[in-house]
Structure 1
Amino acid sequence: MELRHLRYFRAIGREEHFGRAAIALRVAQPALTRQIRDLEAELGVELFERLPRGVRLSSAGRAFLHEVEEILSQVDRAVDRARRMGSGHLGTLRVGMSEIIAAYESISRGLLHFRENEPGVALDLRSMGSVLQIAALKDGALDVGIVYDAHIEERDAEGLERAKLGVGETMLAVHENHPLAARESVTMAEIAEQPVLGPARATARGYYDRLMAACVESGSAPDFVQQCTTNSILFSLVSVGMGVGLVTTAGSRAPVPNVRLVPIADLGLRFEVLLVWRALDRSAALRRFVDMMVQHAAGVLPPGGQAAAA
């Protein structure tokens, strides 16, 4: 028994007429008659009562038609699902997220746009630091991550594809009442005289090492009085006057009301914000996600989500 036998039977059962069913199926009536006789022979029952004009479903035929309708509906759903999966319109994407996204409105807009335009693809958003995202990508526990370039070690670079979403500049976070808060810029020598808050090397080794190398190159390495595992912690400590903080972010506004961000004139340290995924991942949904996020980052798609005019 093949699917075509079931489709032929359903058409005849609905029409209760071989001729009309043959026209609908675009199959020659003699061939259709043969197929139904073969099906009846295989089942060992008569599915139709032959009448002078047309046919009528037998009791066995009516019961069989009910089941066939269910079977073919499931087949159609399976075909549709497979096609949507293959074209990237269905599935689940596990997306790693850290505090990086808070500073980049285009990333948030991209996520929202994707959810609105691809309702068949669920975004499983997972909060984790950049280092943990890289490990999860390598282990197959994550499909795509959003990290600073400093977190990608040379040994991992070959197995990861990446796309640039933005750039973050390392600035000085100070309390609004701090003497440096009103300055247009500060120098590393001035920062060295302050109690400084910075990143924790244990959780962000690549980022920490690049930051320290840049500080040393400037000629004034800071004396960290506190290492912070997240930007939120750093900003919170700065907001209560625990010190000034070295932080990488986008724009000139801090996420905390009483904290100011001041450029560092002689540091010039920037980090690229990257979308990263496994090089061997050929998921169509992933490709759609990457394309949409990159377009938002480049300004090709405005907040409303429609393509910008050329």
Structure 2
Amino acid sequence: MPGKYGRRMELRHLRYFRAIGREQHFGRAAIALRVAQPALTRQIRDLEAELGVELFDRLPRGVRLSSAGRAFLDEVEEILSQVERAIDRAKRLGSGHLGTVRVGLSEIIAAHDFISHGLRSFRESEPSVVLDLKSMGSINQIAALKEGTLDVGLVYDAHLDDRDREVLDRIRLGSGETMVAVHESHRLARRSSVTMAEIAAEPALGPARLTAPGYYDRLMAAWIDSGSPPRIVQECTTNSVLLSLVAVGMGVGFVTASSGLSPTHNIRLVPISDLDLKFDVLLVWRERDRSAALRRFVDMMVRHAGATD
């Protein structure tokens, strides 16, 4: 606030005082600050007038902090350290090197190699950005994005409808193939591929239309086109439920993934030679979101997806 002489203390006064207090010499401080010594002397006189105390004892050679100056320097060091930390934090937030990115993904999406590699690379390259990974299905991710409780999602294209496209930006990272999940002891587990006719004889598990209508409808259409639709004995609301039932021998299940690597050790994913059904893997985020950290995350995931094409 203004002192008795109507002047106002500014950060530069504190920085000038700190430099002189450290050097104990106006000339050396002026050189370090790249400020003319007469101007520096005048600024310190203004500061002392503002405070109403002598901060330095003037000596024949240089200066020495007074008792008031020593106490003031301790506080000034802390004040300027806080200011410098605040400036650094603001710069890093503004450039995307600090913050939090809330990422939604499902177990089956996370099994794509380019997803897991991209996530790991982002953690390593941006250690000050927190990646808050949230396990949820595609439909729930889209709802969370619209509500603002999620920053970015990893979903299959079948889960987006026209209304979503109006508010969500998206970019294709790759694709997943629909395969059959079987227990490792199943007769089809060692096959390099199977046909829909072979699967038709098995009790099968599929997605529930209520939780994934777009995905379900495309899958159903492909089953009908194959001429050998499966015998669905159980609809599952999530892939984790489906895979858990396959793991205990309840039947074979339909899942979409980028390779035959299963997220569980006792299940095999086998390609279906006559189905040829693929879904695009999309990275989606709110169109109005201008977060620099989010942009860095999107760029990293796109680079990794491109490297694996």
Question: Unaligned stretches of 5+ in structure 1?
Answer: 302-310
Q: Distance in 1 between matches of 2:185 and 2:21?
A: 83
Q: Deviations over 1:227-274 (max 9, x none)?
A: 112323323323443222222122134445554433333322111111
Instruction: Give per-residue Cα distances to partners, 1:47-99, cap 9 Å, x unaligned.
Output: 12222222221111111111111111111111111111112111111111211
Q: By how many angstroms is 1:181 displaced? A: 4.9
Mapped contact 1:99–1:230 kept (Cα < 8 A) = no
Distance in 1, matches of 2:189 and 2:29, equals 82
Q: Which residue of 1 aligns with 2:40?
A: 32
Contact 2:141 2:153 in 1 (8 A): yes
Q: 1:61 to 1:185 in 2, by over 3 A?
A: closer
Match of 1:233 among 226, 238, 241: 241
- Determine the C-alpha separation between the residues in 2 that align with 1:182 and 1:68: 72
Task: Please give the alpha-carbon distance, in whole angstroms, between the structure 2 residues aligned to 1:220 and 1:197.
Answer: 15
Whichever residue aligns with residue 250 of structure 2, its letter is M
- Is 1:124–2:126 an aligned residue pair? no
Q: Kindly tell me: are residues 42 and 188 of structure 1, through their superposed partners in 2, closer, same or farther at Cα, counting changes over 3 Å?
A: same
Equivalent residue number for residue 280 of structure 1 = 288
Aligned AA (1:172)? V
Higher alpha-carbon deviation: 292-301 or 81-90: 292-301
**Deviation of residue 160 (structure 1)?**
1.5
Kindly provide the CA deviation profile for residues 2-55 of structure 1, in whole angstroms up to 9, marking residues without a partner as x.
100111111111122212211111111111111111111111111122222222
Q: Does 1:160 align with 2:168?
A: yes
- Alignment partner, residue 115 of structure 1: 123
Contact 2:194–2:271 (CA under 8 A) maintained in structure 1 = yes
User: SS where residue 74 of structure 1 aligns?
Assistant: helix
Match of 1:56 among 64, 77, 81: 64
CA pair 284-258 structure 1, distance change in 2 beyond 3 A = closer
The RMSD of aligned alpha carbons is: 2.2
Deviation at 1:214, TM superposition (A): 2.3
Which of 215, 226, 242 in structure 2 is aligned with 1:218? 226
Distance in 1 of aligned mates of 2:265 and 2:44: 77
Does residue 82 (structure 1) correspond to residue 77 (structure 2)? The answer is no
1:13 to 17, 21, 26: 21
Percent of matched pairs sharing the same residue: 75
Q: TM-score, normalised by structure 2?
A: 0.89
> Which residue, 45, 50, 62 being the options, matches 1:42?
50
CA distance in structure 1 between the partners assigned to 2:22 and 2:63 by the alignment:
11
Task: Tell me the TM-score normalized by structure 1.
Answer: 0.88
Q: Which 10-residue stretch deviates more, 170-179 or 143-152?
A: 170-179
State how many pairs are aligned: 301
- Helix, strand or coil for the counterpart of 1:142? coil
Tell me how far apart the structure 1 counterparts of residues 44 and 10 of structure 2 sit (CA, whole Å): 12
2:78 aligned residue: 70
- What is the SS of the residue equivalent to 1:280? coil
Number of the residue aligned with 1:305: none
Alignment of 1:108-257 (within 5 A): 108-175=116-183, 178=186, 180-181=188-189, 185-256=193-264
Q: Deviation digits for residues 201-248 of structure 1, max 9, x if unmatched?
A: 222222112211222333444342101123233233234432222221
User: In structure 2, what is the Cα distance between the partners aligned to 1:27 and 1:275?
Assistant: 52
3-state SS in 1 of match to 2:246: helix
The answer on whether the counterparts of 1:100 and 1:147 sit within 8 Å (CA) in structure 2 is no
Is the deviation greater in 182-191 or in 109-118?
182-191
